[in-house]
Amino acid sequence: MSDLLLRPLAEGEAAAALDVHLSARLAAAESGTMPPLAHPLSDAPRWFGEVIGTREVWVAERSGRLVGLLVLDTAFVDQLYVRPGCQRRGIGSALLDLAKALRPGGFDLWVFEVNAPAIALYERAGMTVAEQTRGAGNDERAPDRRYRWAGARRAAPTSVGPGAQTGLA
């Protein structure tokens, strides 16, 4: 996975990032791991323009092509998508690790109950369920869960000899 580059979204890449989002979202809806879109596809460019104007957006790039998308709000992972055909290759884990590095104090995220692959990823990453709903708060009206990553835990300093590495930043 050494050829995977994680970087902020660059100017002029909104359409490519939106394509990652939509291709992953539509494939997941087709496979049953996400509910169908609640809004028309024609609304997506306007909506995504608002997203990138108000949130921190990172992309995963491999061989010059955008393959993943991470959108962060202050204390939430707003979106984490990996392009179909690129999934289950460590890209989602790398983006989640990036979110942890960028939000060391912790964060929450929402996931639909039917999204078993994402739930497995979040639980492997040490996230825990903070809330479950029947979907009243999402546009799709589909049952969902709010997961929480509590943040980096620092080990207590230990007494070590001069020049020893402690693993603490």
- What distance in Å separates the CA atoms of residue 100 and residue 37, rounded to the nearest whole number? 28
- What distance in Å separates the CA atoms of residue 127 and residue 130, rounded to the nearest whole number? 9
Provide mean pLDDT across the span 25-46: 90
Helix (H) / strand (E) containing 35: none
Answer whether residue 159 shows pLDDT above 90: no
- For the chain, give the number of residues: 169
Q: Which residue has better confidence, 71 or 165?
A: 71
pTM over 0.75: yes
In one-letter notation, the amino acid at residue 94 is: A
- What distance in Å separates the CA atoms of residue 116 and residue 27, rounded to the nearest whole number? 14
Beta bridge partners of 128: 148
Answer whether residue 161 shows pLDDT above 80: no
Answer whether residue 99 shows pLDDT above 50: yes
**Which residues neighbour 46 within 8 Å (Cβ) at sequence distance 6 or greater?**
none
- What distance in Å separates the CA atoms of residue 116 and residue 34, rounded to the nearest whole number? 9
pLDDT value at residue 154: 59
Q: What is the pLDDT of residues 39-48, one digit of tens each?
A: 888 999 999 9
> H helices within the chain, ranges in order?
14-31, 44-54, 91-102, 116-124
Beta bridge partners of 149: 107
Would strands 107-112 and 76-82 be described as parallel, antiparallel, or unpaired?
Answer: parallel
pLDDT value at residue 145: 94
Provide mean pLDDT across the span 1-14: 89
Q: Domains of the chain by range and CATH?
A: 4-149 (3.40.630.30)
Provide mean pLDDT across the span 114-133: 93
Range with the lowest mean pLDDT among 30-34, 98-102, 141-145, 153-157? 153-157
Band of the pLDDT at 2, cuts 50, 70, 90?
low
- What distance in Å separates the CA atoms of residue 123 and residue 92, rounded to the nearest whole number? 13
Q: Which residue has better confidence, 160 or 144?
A: 144
